[in-house]
Every structure is written in C-alpha cells, then in structure tokens.
Amino acid sequence: MIRSSPLGRVELEIPRRRLSERLKTLGIRDARVLEAIASVPRHLLIPEPLRAQAYKDVSLPIGAGQTISAPSTVAAMTEALQLSGSETVL
C-alpha cells in the first residue's frame, strides 16, 4: 500500500527504484532516463484511488478521458530523443 506524506519521498523511493530497475530489463539504457523515472513522484500525478498502482508499468486514467502513459512508454520515448542534457522535457 502506498502511504501519503507531504513529500512522498521516503516510503516511495523503493517502488520508484524498482520500477527503474524493471525498465532496465526492458532495454532502457540511458542512465538519465532511468534516474528521472526513479526520482519523479508519479503517485502525485494520478488520482488518489489509483495511487497504489502508481509504480506499476501501466497507463492509468487521470481524468477528463485522459491517461498517464506507462513508464516504459515514457522511458522509451524519452530515450529515443537522445537528449544532450540541456533540454527541458514535459
């Protein structure tokens, strides 16, 4: 179960790191992409009732008929950009 905290940092660091490790097994190699996935608090971007699923590699509904993409999709797209490090990506 995912517990809320003001920052969501300590108790969710392990699930974020596990997700990053899982993405490595799926072929994501860019260390910056893996670190971004491991550090972004994805649980804060989805509705409260779905937060227990935040660090699974699945897309989730976020309201208004929209979804947040699966982390593997985001990682693959970001890696494909071959960023230099000076860009900002939304």
Q: Is 58 exposed, middle or buried (0-12, 13-18, 19+ CB in 10 A)?
A: middle
Check if 69 is active-site: yes
How many C-beta atoms surround the C-beta of residue 23 within 10 A? 23
Q: Which of 69, 72, 84, 86 is catalytic?
A: 69
Q: Give burial (CB, 10 Å; 0-12/13-18/19+) of 90.
A: exposed
Eight-state DSSP code of residue 56: S
Point out the residues that are catalytic.
69
